[in-house]
Structure 1
Amino acid sequence: MAKKIGLFVAGAAALLVLLFHLVALVGLAITLAILYYAFKKCLKAPSTFGKVVWALIGCAALVASASNVPALIALVAAYVLYVVYKQWSGVKGERVVSESDDPFVNFEKQWAELQKQY
């Protein structure tokens, strides 16, 4: 029960951080899209002037992407939320596995019985 409460608190905190930094995350996505587009255009530009212009646009987008710290915090929060979700679905409750539920214990017992017969 304590593990589920801890997961809930961690998940709630990560969700709040993600929601507060959602606009920064959208800004990061836009600047990364501009960077990708500028890189593709720079490679396909026929003139040197065009390559320089697209490289400058790409550098500006790279600086804008790298300086977007709140978006990086939002990415970390999204990862924490993912881990909490995986851990939450992995917790089946506080039930203790008895000997009869464990397939390996049953196998060992049956194997010992077979050994006694032969």
Structure 2
Amino acid sequence: MKKFGLLLAGGIAAIVLIANLGPIVGLALSVLIMYYSFKQFIRTDSTFKKIIWALIGLAAFSATISNFPAIIGLVALYIIYVIYKNWKKDEIIVEEKSNDPFTNFEKEWSQLKN
């Protein structure tokens, strides 16, 4: 039943992630433009160029804020990551617990010897 819950939560998170792919790409591009304009703003000595780079940076900042739904998509991506890790952890635990009578006998026998 736990696997079903993880699968259901992962499916919902995947749908949310796919629905927010556009805002995620827009957020990435606007953050990249904002970073580049900041670096150019710091490098330049001309007042006119500083004004131009500041305006470009402000436009990129407003684009970044308008892509706020991308945060929901990034949270969905993190949820998928956590579900994937829990899924793998459950498989490792299941592999360690074996119902094979011979391995159980070996464990019991080694405990009796000690």
Once residues 95 and 43 of structure 1 are traced to their aligned partners in structure 2, the CA distance between those partners, rounded to angstroms, is: 56
> Can you list the C-alpha shifts for 1:30-58, whole angstroms capped at 9, x where unaligned?
10110011011101112012112111211
Alignment of 1:1-118 (within 5 A): 2-92=1-91, 97=97, 113=114
Distance 2:38 2:79 in 1: 31
Q: Which moved more, 1:34-43 or 1:85-94?
A: 85-94
TM-score by length of structure 2 reads: 0.79
Two-structure CA RMSD over aligned residues (Å): 2.8
**Percent identity (aligned):** 45
The number of residue pairs the alignment matches comes to: 108
Unaligned runs of at least 5 residues, structure 1: 114-118
Separation (CA, whole Å) in 2 of partners of 1:59 and 1:83: 35
Deviates more, 1:76-85 or 1:65-74: 65-74
Q: Distance in 2 between matches of 1:90 and 1:7?
A: 12
Structure-1-length-normalised TM-score: 0.76
Q: Which amino acid aligns with 2:74?
A: L
1:13 deviation in Å?
0.4
Q: Quick one: distance in 2 between partners of 1:55 and 1:96? A: 59
